[in-house]
Amino acid sequence: AQSVSQHNHHVILSEAASLELGCNYSYGGTVNLFWYVQYPGQHLQLLLKYFSGDPLVKGIKGFEAEFIKSKFSFNLRKPSVQWSDTAEYFCAVNPTSGTYKYIFGTGTRLKVLA
Protein backbone atom coordinates (compact mmCIF):
# COMPACT_ATOMS: atom_id res chain seq x y z
CA ALA A 1 0.00 0.00 0.00
CA GLN A 2 1.10 3.55 -0.63
CA SER A 3 2.43 5.32 2.45
CA VAL A 4 4.31 8.39 3.58
CA SER A 5 6.83 8.29 6.42
CA GLN A 6 7.91 11.22 8.51
CA HIS A 7 10.52 9.78 10.80
CA ASN A 8 10.89 12.77 13.10
CA HIS A 9 7.78 13.04 15.24
CA HIS A 10 9.04 15.81 17.52
CA VAL A 11 11.87 18.23 16.84
CA ILE A 12 13.13 20.92 19.20
CA LEU A 13 15.52 23.59 17.91
CA SER A 14 16.89 26.87 19.07
CA GLU A 15 16.31 29.98 17.01
CA ALA A 16 18.77 30.35 14.09
CA ALA A 17 19.40 26.60 13.94
CA SER A 18 19.03 24.85 10.60
CA LEU A 19 16.08 22.57 9.99
CA GLU A 20 15.65 19.44 7.95
CA LEU A 21 12.51 17.33 8.21
CA GLY A 22 12.48 13.99 6.47
CA CYS A 23 9.72 12.66 4.23
CA ASN A 24 9.84 9.35 2.38
CA TYR A 25 7.09 7.75 0.37
CA SER A 26 6.41 4.33 -1.07
CA TYR A 27 5.06 4.50 -4.60
CA GLY A 28 6.86 3.52 -7.78
CA GLY A 29 5.16 5.88 -10.20
CA THR A 30 5.10 9.62 -10.75
CA VAL A 31 3.93 11.72 -7.84
CA ASN A 32 3.06 15.25 -6.85
CA LEU A 33 4.54 16.23 -3.50
CA PHE A 34 3.47 18.73 -0.87
CA TRP A 35 4.41 20.11 2.50
CA TYR A 36 1.70 21.61 4.66
CA VAL A 37 2.09 23.54 7.91
CA GLN A 38 -0.34 23.91 10.78
CA TYR A 39 0.45 26.73 13.19
CA PRO A 40 -1.09 26.44 16.67
CA GLY A 41 -4.83 27.00 16.47
CA GLN A 42 -4.80 27.57 12.72
CA HIS A 43 -5.81 25.61 9.66
CA LEU A 44 -3.44 23.63 7.46
CA GLN A 45 -1.70 25.80 4.90
CA LEU A 46 0.29 24.86 1.83
CA LEU A 47 3.99 25.52 2.37
CA LEU A 48 5.29 24.33 -0.97
CA LYS A 49 4.63 21.84 -3.74
CA TYR A 50 6.45 19.90 -6.40
CA PHE A 51 4.79 18.77 -9.61
CA SER A 52 7.67 18.57 -12.10
CA GLY A 53 10.85 20.35 -13.22
CA ASP A 54 13.54 21.63 -10.86
CA PRO A 55 13.64 19.18 -7.94
CA LEU A 56 14.57 21.99 -5.55
CA VAL A 57 11.43 23.95 -4.79
CA LYS A 58 11.08 27.08 -2.74
CA GLY A 59 8.04 27.88 -0.68
CA ILE A 60 6.81 30.56 1.63
CA LYS A 61 8.66 31.89 4.69
CA GLY A 62 12.10 30.76 3.52
CA PHE A 63 11.31 27.05 3.33
CA GLU A 64 12.57 24.82 0.55
CA ALA A 65 12.36 21.12 -0.25
CA GLU A 66 14.33 18.80 -2.48
CA PHE A 67 12.80 15.91 -4.38
CA ILE A 68 15.24 13.01 -4.76
CA LYS A 69 13.49 10.48 -6.95
CA SER A 70 16.03 7.70 -6.40
CA LYS A 71 15.50 7.94 -2.66
CA PHE A 72 11.71 8.50 -2.79
CA SER A 73 12.30 11.49 -0.56
CA PHE A 74 11.06 15.06 -0.31
CA ASN A 75 12.82 16.62 2.67
CA LEU A 76 11.92 20.05 3.98
CA ARG A 77 14.69 22.50 4.89
CA LYS A 78 15.15 25.96 6.31
CA PRO A 79 18.59 27.45 6.93
CA SER A 80 17.65 29.43 10.04
CA VAL A 81 14.45 28.82 11.98
CA GLN A 82 12.51 31.39 13.95
CA TRP A 83 10.29 31.07 17.00
CA SER A 84 7.30 31.68 14.70
CA ASP A 85 8.09 28.46 12.81
CA THR A 86 6.79 26.48 15.77
CA ALA A 87 4.09 24.33 14.16
CA GLU A 88 3.22 20.87 12.93
CA TYR A 89 4.45 19.96 9.46
CA PHE A 90 2.84 17.39 7.19
CA CYS A 91 4.24 15.83 4.05
CA ALA A 92 1.72 14.63 1.45
CA VAL A 93 1.97 12.62 -1.75
CA ASN A 94 -0.46 12.38 -4.63
CA PRO A 95 0.18 9.79 -7.34
CA THR A 96 -0.39 11.42 -10.70
CA SER A 97 -2.34 8.43 -11.95
CA GLY A 98 -5.36 7.11 -10.12
CA THR A 99 -7.42 8.88 -7.52
CA TYR A 100 -7.47 12.46 -6.41
CA LYS A 101 -6.65 11.76 -2.82
CA TYR A 102 -3.46 12.74 -1.07
CA ILE A 103 -1.63 10.44 1.31
CA PHE A 104 -0.40 12.30 4.37
CA GLY A 105 2.41 11.51 6.74
CA THR A 106 1.78 11.46 10.47
CA GLY A 107 3.30 14.90 10.94
CA THR A 108 6.33 16.40 12.70
CA ARG A 109 5.86 18.76 15.62
CA LEU A 110 8.53 21.45 15.56
CA LYS A 111 9.18 23.59 18.62
CA VAL A 112 11.58 26.49 18.26
CA LEU A 113 13.00 27.89 21.47
CA ALA A 114 13.51 31.63 21.61
Q: Which is nearer to other proteins, 42 or 70 (CB)?
A: 42
Q: Which is nearer to other proteins, 72 or 102 (CB)?
A: 102
Binding interface with other proteins (CB under 8 A): 9, 32, 34, 36, 42-46, 49, 90, 92, 94, 96, 99-102, 104-107
| Least separation in angstroms between CB 80 and other proteins | 25
User: Residue 35 carries which side chain, given as an amino acid letter?
Assistant: W
| Least separation in angstroms between CB 15 and other proteins | 26
Q: Which is nearer to other proteins, 78 or 105 (CB)?
A: 105
| Least separation in angstroms between CB 79 and other proteins | 24
Other beta carbons less than 10 A from residue 79's beta carbon = 11
Q: Which is nearer to other proteins, 18 or 111 (CB)?
A: 111
| Least separation in angstroms between CB 16 and other proteins | 29
- Cα separation, 79 vs 49, in Å, equals 18
CA 25 remoteness from chain centre: 11
What's the N-to-C CA distance of the chain in angstroms?
Answer: 41
CA 37 remoteness from chain centre: 8
Q: Taking the alpha carbons of 51, 53, 56, 59 in that order, is the dihedral positive or negative?
A: negative
